Amino acid sequence: MRHRVSTMVVLLVVAFAAHGAAQAPAPAAPAPAQELAPVPLPPPQTDGGMPLMKALKLRASSRAFAPDPIPAQTLSNLLWAAWGINRPQEGKRTAPSARNWQEIDVVVVNATGAYLYDAKAHKQIVVLAQTVGFPKK
C-alpha cells in the first residue's frame, strides 16, 4: 500500500492592498458551494512571455499588493502554469509530482471566496462562496 502525501498549493489573490486598504464588509452567510456553478477561465496563453533566464534574473519578493484583482487571463495563465495539463493525450501536468500520483490541489482565495482549480476542465470549482476579509496591516 502506498502512502499518499497530499500537497496543497494556495494562491492567494489579494483584492485589498496590504497597507491602507479598506476593511472588507462583514461576511455574509456562506452559500453552499455545491449549489454554485464552476467559474470558467479563459484558455491559457502558452506562447510568448519572458525568457526563463531573464525571469530568474528579475525575480524578487514583494510584500506589497495592488488593490485590484488579478485579471482573468493572468489568473488562467498562473493556474495552468502551476498545475495545468500540458500533454492532454497522456494527462500529464506542467509540474511533476512524486511517482506521478498527482496529489496536488491548487486553491485560489480572493475577496469573494475560495476556488479549487480543476485542471482537466480548466475552471475553478467554488469551495467557499462568501466575502473573505483580509486584515489591515
CA distance 22 to 18: 10
Task: Name the grid cell of 83.
Answer: 498545475
Indicate the fold that domain 18-58+65-129 takes in CATH. Answer: NADH Oxidase (3.40.109)
Q: Which residues does 21 contact at the CB level (< 8 Å), separation at least 6?
A: 67, 134, 136
Q: Which residues of the chain have pLDDT under 70?
A: 1-35, 134-137
Q: Residue 53, exposed/middle/buried by CB under 10 A (0-12, 13-18, 19+)?
A: exposed
Task: Name the grid cell of 57.
Answer: 534574473
* pLDDT score, position 66: 84
Cβ–Cβ under 8 Å, residues 117 and 104:
no
Instruction: State residue 116 phi and psi, 5-degree precision.
Output: -90, 130
* pLDDT score, position 137: 62
Residues in the chain: 137
* pLDDT score, position 67: 83
CA distance 73 to 58: 22
Strands (E), the chain: 7-12, 39-40, 85-87, 92-93, 104-110, 113-118, 123-129
